[in-house]
Amino acid sequence: MNRVPVKGPFGRLSVQLVVSHVLVGVASLITTTVLVFLLAPRLFDTMGTGSGEMTGRGPGHGGGVAVGLGALRPEVLSALQTALLWGVVVGVVTAVLLGALAARRVLKPVTAVRTAATRVAAGDYGTELPQPGTVELRELVDDVGTMAERLADTEARRVRLLGEVGHEMRTPLTVIDGQVEAMIDGVLPASAESLAVVAAESRRLHRLAADLSALSRAEEGRVSLDRQPIDLGELVAGAVERLRPQTDDAGIELRCTAADGVRVEADTDRIAQVVTNLVGNAIRATPAGGRITVTCSQEGHQGVVRVSDTGEGLAAPELERVFERFYRVPGRRSTGRESGSGIGLTIARHLVEAHGGSLVAESAGKGLGATFTMRLPA
């Protein structure tokens, strides 16, 4: 963020508060002075004429001289001018003192908020924030507190993500390192089988890197979608058929029922990726002899895809957690099948939500299978 440079001392709030008080005081005194000098002579002249008429003696009363306030006019105006001058001086000094006092009173909580914000920016998210008495400053403090909470959550997620990525990378790197060391030492021959293990783990690392990149774009809202009118049933059927060899090898029955004419406006590749992730997740959760059922239909103004399996199932607290990055269902059995990157469901939900849809998980409990339901605007 670019900061606008402050030029001169008038960029400081304290100076602006003092100057504003002084300007208000001076403006008031100048207005008073002008009005007094414009009105006072006329008032004295009027009062002097009136007094002469009331107290003077005409020819019928002995021929005296008319005496009024008019004779005192120069002295009174001079005294008035001196008094107003002193009033201006005292008024300016008072305005400066009151302005400095007000500035100090206002800036004290502002300085405290600034100090707290600096500590938050430095990573001390547990900093105790001040509680000023001004409504506007209290609202500012509340905003700073909200910002600190979000920064703390973001930092915690960042640290957790780094640890999770490191953990995910450690296993394939350990396998690759072990295989290569064994081949170098002559313990294992540099055969096609040994190199195949290294190649498989390398592909796993490549897939993890690609998934992390896709997740980053999805979470930041940078997913580019090429929306086109598509037949959702046809897309689902095609994605399922591409995975049928995997279910056949695993001894899992795969069924697909896709209704005709389910039209949605979506990115073909992205939705195919979601279906692939959902079916792939079901394959990993379903033992040999199990069944995976994929259906596509239209319900109201939505195209609905359901992927159900007879696998391990999910406990109630896990129905949302399975969409978290790198979350592993506790107690999941170890299989010889290729494991995923651990963020497939996370990416799938982000992609569906980018289309304006939803993706949720349902399960009757452990050992009772699970159903993942994707809904897209039809």
CATH number at residue 201: 1.10.287.130
**How high is the pLDDT of residue 62?**
46
Is residue 64 scored above 50 in pLDDT?
A: no
Is residue 65 scored above 70 in pLDDT?
A: no
176 shares a domain with 143: yes
Q: Which residue shows structure tokens 């100048």?
A: 30
Q: Say if 58 falls within a structural domain.
A: no
Q: Say if 365 falls within a structural domain.
A: yes
236 shares a domain with 328: yes
**How high is the pLDDT of residue 16?**
65
What sign for the dihedral angle of Cα 321, 326, 332, 338? positive
pLDDT-derived band at 294 (thresholds 50, 70, 90) equals very high
309 shares a domain with 273: yes
28-56 pLDDT tens trace: 777 777 766 666 666 666 655 555 544 44
Q: Say if 66 falls within a structural domain.
A: no
Is residue 344 scored above 70 in pLDDT?
A: yes
Is residue 120 scored above 90 in pLDDT?
A: no
Domain boundary, last residue among 130, 145, 162: 130
- Using CA atoms, how far residue 144 sits from 68, 111, 114, 216, in Å, is 71, 13, 10, 27
Cα separation, 309 vs 279, in Å, equals: 9
Q: Out of 93-97, 243-247, 322-326, 339-343, pick the least confident.
A: 339-343
175 shares a domain with 312: no
Q: How many domains does the chain have?
A: 3
Q: What is the 3-state secondary structure (H, E, C) of the chain?
A: CCCCCCCCHHHCHHHHHHHHHHHHHHHHHHHHHHHHHHHHHHHHHHHHHHHHHHHCCCHHHCCCCCCCHHHHHHHHHHHHHHHHHHHHHHHHHHHHHHHHHHHHHHHHHHHHHHHHHHHHHCCCCCCCCCCCCCHHHHHHHHHHHHHHHHHHHHHHHHHHHHHHHHHHHHHHHHHHHHHHHHHHHCCCCCCHHHHHHHHHHHHHHHHHHHHHHHHHHHHCCCCCCCCEEEEHHHHHHHHHHHHHHHHHHHCCEEEEEECCCCEEEECHHHHHHHHHHHHHHHHHHCCCCCEEEEEEEEECCEEEEEEEECCCCCCCCHHHHCCCCCCCCCCCCCCCCCCCCCCHHHHHHHHHHHCCCEEEEECCCCCCCEEEEEEEEC
pTM: predicted TM-score of the whole model, two decimal places? 0.54
Cα separation, 287 vs 291, in Å, equals: 9
Domain boundary, last residue among 106, 130, 154: 130
Rounded mean pLDDT of 114-135?
Answer: 78
291 shares a domain with 254: yes
Q: Say if 59 falls within a structural domain.
A: no
371 shares a domain with 238: yes
182-240 pLDDT tens trace: 888 888 888 888 888 888 888 878 877 777 777 777 666 667 788 999 999 999 999 99
148 shares a domain with 39: no
Q: Say if 174 falls within a structural domain.
A: yes
Q: Say if 123 falls within a structural domain.
A: yes
Q: Which residue shows structure tokens 């081949």?
A: 183
Domain boundary, last residue among 195, 219, 243: 219
CATH number at residue 260: 3.30.565.10
Asked if 279 contacts 243 with a C-beta cutoff of 8 angstroms, the reply is yes
213 shares a domain with 173: yes
Is residue 180 scored above 80 in pLDDT?
A: yes
257 shares a domain with 340: yes
Q: Say if 183 falls within a structural domain.
A: yes
280 shares a domain with 199: no
Q: Domain of residue 339: give its range.
A: 228-377
Is residue 17 scored above 70 in pLDDT?
A: no
Rounded mean pLDDT of 76-88?
Answer: 73
Q: Say if 297 falls within a structural domain.
A: yes
124 shares a domain with 165: no
179 shares a domain with 103: no
